[in-house]
Structure 1
Amino acid sequence: MSKGLKEFDNKECENPGFMCDNCSTSAFCIPYPNGDYGKEIIETCPAGSTCLGETGRCTTASNYECDGSSTGYEFYCIQPGVFPDPFSCKKYHICVPGEYFSYQNECGLGFAYDPLTTLCSIKMVNNSCTSVIPKCEKPLQSGPVLGNPSIFYMCRPRYINGNMVNLPDFFSCPFNEQYDAKLEKCIDPTPPSGIDKDGLCVDKGYYYYPGDCKKYKDCPAKGKAPVIRTCGTYYRFDPNESKCVYFTC
C-alpha cells in the first residue's frame, strides 16, 4: 500500500520555499545563515482540499498522494517492463514475463523514480515530487506517463474495500513509439521540425530541438526566424505537450 505524502507527516525542511508538512498542512521553509532551516506553518487546508506535493500549497484539484485512492491498491502486471507507481513518486514496479503481480521497489531517501532513465535519479525538493499521471476520473481514460511517453496508462474500474473506483493499468509502446493521448494509440514519435528548407518557421508554435531535450524552437509566426529557448532547471521539453515539463532528461 502506498501512502504518498502521508509517509512524511511533520517533515523537516531540506530546501527553502513551500512544502507540505502533511496532507492537510502547508508550510514554508526559511533558510538561516548557519545552514539550518526554520519552518513556519502557513495554512491548514480547508475542507475538501489537500496539500499538493509539487507546489506545497493547498488545492481542491485531484491529489493521488492524499485522497485515499491508494488504500488497498495492488499493481497488476499487464506486460513485462519497469513501470512507475501511480501513487508514490518514490516507488516503481518490475513486471517479469508470466507473473501477474509486480516486484515493488522504493528509492532511497531524497530521491524519486525517473520513468525515462528507470533509475532513482530525480532529487526531491522537501520530500515532494510530481505525480506521473493524473487521477483516473473515468473508465478508459488514458495518457502518456510524465517523463516517458513510451509508457502509458489506461484507467479501469476496480472494487477496492467494497467500493468501485477507477484505477490505472500501465503499458509500454512498441520499440521507438510514443503514446498519443488524442489518437489513443502509440505512434512514431518523430516530431515536426517546424522549420522549412530556408530555416524559417512553417507556423506559429513551439517545436522539438534535435539533440538537446532541454531546448526547443519558439516560432513567433509563419515565415519568421525561430528563437532557440531552454527549459528551466529540472525541466525538459515535451514535444507531445509543446511545453517544458518537470522531469530531467
Structure 2
Amino acid sequence: MLHKIIFCVVLVVCSVKSINAQIYAEGTILSDESEFVCNRSGPQCADDCTTLMLCAAESMTPFANVSCAKSTPSLPYCVSNTCSSTPGNCSSALPFRCTSAGVFPDPNDCRRYRHCNESNAESTAYICPLGFVFNSKINLCEFTKSSHHSSKICNTVDCSRKTNEVAEYKPNRAFFSFCFVDSDGVRETIMFKCENEEYEIYDVSKNMCTFNCKKSGYYQDPSNCENYYVCSPSSGGFKAEKIPCPTGYYFDGTKCTKDSSKCIPGSLMEDSTEE
C-alpha cells in the first residue's frame, strides 16, 4: 500500500492512499456549509438554490456568483445549472437530518458526506477533494476516472417525481431515501440506512431491509442469533431463507445449539464448509 500526503486547494492537508492502482482520500470538515463550493469547471447551482456559481477548473471557490433573483427577477431559481422560473427539485439548502448514528452519503452532492453521532442530532459535513467522490461502501473519497466510474460509486437522489415515497440509493443499497414533501410543498430528501448496513440491503419490493446473500451457506441472523439464514443460488444471484432455531437454541455458524457464547449481536457467524 502506497501512502502519499498532498495539499488540497483549501490548504488542508489530506491523506491520500493508493490501493491496487485506485486512489483514495479522506474528506475534510466543511466548517461553513453556507460557503459556496465548486464541484467542477463551469456554471453550477449553489446550495441556496438561487445562486449560479461560475467555477474554474481545479478550484473549489467560484470566481463569480450570479444571484438569479437579482439579475433576472423573472428567473429567481437556479435549476440544472441555469436560472429558472420554477424551483425544480432543490432541497440541498435544507439541514441534513440524522436518522441514526453513522456515516451517510449526501443525497444532493457526491463530494459530501455526513457524520451523525445519534438520531435527531446535527451532522458534521465533510467534503472530498476535487476529482474525488464519496464511496459509502468504504467510507472514503475515491478518485474518479470518468463520469461512468463516478456514477457506480455515488449518485445524487432525484426526488423531483416522487412525493412521500422511497427512492433507491443504487451505489449502496444499504442506504435508501425518503422523498418528503410537506404541506407547503417544500421538498426534502431524507437519508436512511439499514440497521446492519454490512449485511442488509433495502428491498423496494418488500419496503424493508433484508439480509443480503453474497454466497451460498448458512449465516447467523446478525439481528437475532436465535435465527439463521440459508443462502442458495437463484436467478444468477442468491436468495435468503430465514429459519428459526428451536426455543432456547442459538445458531453458532454451523448448527443450532444451547451454547449462547457465540451469540454476538451485529456479528455474522457463517458455515465456512458451504460454498
Per the normalisation by structure 2, the TM-score is: 0.44
Q: Return the index of the structure with the highest Cα Rg.
A: 2
